[in-house]
Chains A and B, each alone.
Chain A
Amino acid sequence: DIQMTQSPPSLSASVGDRVTITCRTSQTIYRYLNWYQHKPGTAPKLLIFGGSRLRSGVPSRFSGGGSGTAFTLTISSLQPEDLATYSCQQSYTTPWTFGQGTKVEF
């Protein structure tokens, strides 16, 4: 299985901050990397797919980058509604695997 390592496990930031979350994989996955936002008690939401493709309707302050084994999710200006856990997921090969998540707090 492809192992996914996210960092940091949690971070504290302020409204307006630029936030970057990193996801590293145990082998190359080219650009087949997705990002999700998850708030307690709600359905997870797809933010980014294919490494950098912003899902329709997702605010443009979210962006994804990277390729190979290193990827980033960046929130350019953190908003109060962005309090959540963010998880990466590789779709290069089954079993599809997820990172452990990064909890963004204020």
Chain B
Amino acid sequence: QVQLQESGPGLVKSSETLSLSCTVSGGSISSYHWSWIRQPPGKGLEWIGYIFYNGSTNYNPSLKDRVTISVATSRTQFSLRLRSVTAADTAVYYCARTPGSDHVTFFDSWGQGTQVTVSS
């Protein structure tokens, strides 16, 4: 069974870049989309974007100008970079596997999440 684990700094300074990695174990990164999702305190979940194993991406327009998702050459990790962060980017960040096709897609395996706080 595939497992995902987020890693990265828990504290990022305002205006700097948030960088997180997601390690995938127990399965291949191929043939799936892989997403980043976040949950700000007291708010609902927000989809950030996904990457396909071949490198193609799709980002939430609300974050598109600041976000980059990439797959590591090892093909066992994918990463999130969010530039110019503010307090509004404080959230629990999740990575998730996103199988399916056309409109029948969903997040079927998630990491446990990592808290990222943006400080001034």
Could you list which residues of chain A lie within 8 angstroms of chain B, going by C-beta atoms?
1, 4, 30, 32, 34, 36, 41-46, 49-50, 55, 87, 89, 91-101
Contact = CB atoms under 8 A, between A and B. Distances in A.
Contacts of A98: 44-47
Task: State which size class the interface on B falls in.
Answer: 20 to 34
B98 to A, nearest CB: 9
Contacts, number: 63
A41 B112 contact: yes
A61 B61 CA distance: 37
Given A32-B103, A92-B103, A101 B44 contact: yes
A4 B108 CA distance: 20
B60 A44 contact: no
Contacts of B105: 91, 96
Contacts of B103: 30, 32, 91-93
Contacts of A99: 44
Interface string B49-69: 000000000101110000000
A10 to B, nearest CB: 13
B113 A43 contact: yes
A50 B111 CA distance: 22
Interface in B89-120: 94, 100, 103-113
A36 B44 CA distance: 12
